Structure 1
């Protein structure tokens, strides 16, 4: 007859256990959340409210709390003016095409790279990961001009046959941003937390590495996929400097570049606010939809050492 040994659990002191439930602590936490919400939310409130006001009222309300309140002469003229001033539908379609393709291809490429670095053992594995992470310290502005030059040397097949240079195309707005070091790192951290016994069981059943990636690991990586999708979508949707450098045709410009149209000749701040509100809505909708998965992934893998 064997005697089982039990490891005694550490007891949390009652004072420490009840500290977080103290009314003063709860009130301080609630106040902190309200302050953070105000800091990050008030600019959005100001933008949305101002999009319904004429310019003279926007400036008149700046000195009071009315700047954040839907009071006064509210109108939809600013939103109607957006469609009169720019080819808004075309700009939005371009942004959707670029963002969706960048996110979709990025999820595939970055997850496969992370899977290879995390699950497949080979020589130089850690060195490759270190080199990939080292690229995070290089600002994009330092790479923009060399990237522009190399992109203009690349061949492409179009309706006229083989041509040289990617300037003024969709692919120059998509391809350079598919592979992303931070996305690879997030996937790597999440994949590293998945038990490797699942790989071994699948290998016993005859599955190859791609089958393990597709049928075992990726179905368990929902939070990581949501996080990478959001973090890839945001810079793709908000891209301004790069399209300004590489796109000349109006029919290929994304929505963010379209805001320059409102700064020419007669500047209408109400229309700028209306335009900014419309192009911000997809970002807010995406984050709200994937909020839980985003927080879950950051909590489980993103902050690991």
Structure 2
């Protein structure tokens, strides 16, 4: 009785030590030195970004004397010594924290929501419609990215002070609108949406038009739902500057009832400066930013990888 061996390369054949498939797998495996180097680099990056946050959180639990006493040693990053929540209690006694927090939430939510709508519509027109000057308009929009806000602050202040308001008065000073409307349109958000919309197959638009859909319906029902990662990225990148606004509210808002959280830091620099209270205040206003990023980090990374780095 004779047995027939499986031919080389067949599905049932087991790769031997010298077979090409095993060599390919072995070549693809990183060496031990490279693996150690990768994890070491990642650990260093984590420490660079995490240690300042850890120092802020730990210092918010310590009195000022201990904060300065622990600086220069590893104890600055450890919750040791005189630990308490007194700094957090003092924050709520010193400033109207919930009023500032509510103002920042209102400003940020409206800026993000309206920004996604306006910037995505502009990007859709540039990416899907064909008209003369389209490339020039896109180039001008992208060119505005190099202009810092500080150079526009004074001209913008002059303009908003001359605009008519709803009640017939002149000037938008000391309102929510002056903190929201100038920041709805954003060049980087338009460019990011443009890159993402341009990667969506145009055959979807053509099929929808055959079914009788108009331009806005195609944008609202087809293109925008497919741009989830881009929307998440724009939401994060719009929320951060809206939440961190300091210079502009300081220029246009006088009443305490309309001030955002960043302006509230100035309250702790008056008279006696308490660094423990400043750290507590900073910890409280950082929580919403971290929560937003944790919720949208997967979509954020996906959008940057798929559209944000395209030429």
TM-score, reference length from structure 2: 0.91
CA distance, structure 2, for counterparts of residue 22 and residue 180 of structure 1: 45
CA distance, structure 2, for counterparts of residue 194 and residue 88 of structure 1: 44
CA distance, structure 2, for counterparts of residue 209 and residue 12 of structure 1: 52
Structure 2, unmatched stretches of 5+, are: 1-19
Contact 1:20–1:26 (8 Å) recurs in 2: no
Matches within 5 A, 1:245-264: 245-264=251-270
Q: Equivalent residue for 1:177?
A: 183
Out of 177, 195, 202, the residue aligned to residue 196 of structure 1 is 202
TM-score, reference length from structure 1: 0.93
CA distance, structure 1, for counterparts of residue 26 and residue 143 of structure 2: 42
CA distance, structure 1, for counterparts of residue 26 and residue 187 of structure 2: 40
Matches within 5 A, 1:35-184: 35-157=44-166, 161-184=167-190
Matches within 5 A, 1:269-284: 269-284=275-290
CA distance, structure 2, for counterparts of residue 140 and residue 12 of structure 1: 57
Matched, 1:300 2:306: yes
Q: Equivalent residue for 1:268?
A: 274
Number of positions where the alignment pairs a residue of Structure 1 with one of Structure 2:
292
State the shift of 1:131 in Å. 0.8
CA distance, structure 2, for counterparts of residue 105 and residue 152 of structure 1: 22
Cα gap change, 1:265/1:13 in structure 2, threshold over 3 Å: closer, same or farther? Answer: farther
Contact 1:19–1:25 (8 Å) recurs in 2: no
Out of 218, 238, 241, the residue aligned to residue 235 of structure 1 is 241
State the shift of 1:25 in Å. 1.3
State the shift of 1:16 in Å. 9.8
CA distance, structure 2, for counterparts of residue 18 and residue 182 of structure 1: 41
State the shift of 1:296 in Å. 0.2
What is the root-mean-square deviation of aligned Cα atoms in Å?
1.6
Structure 1, unmatched stretches of 5+, are: 1-10
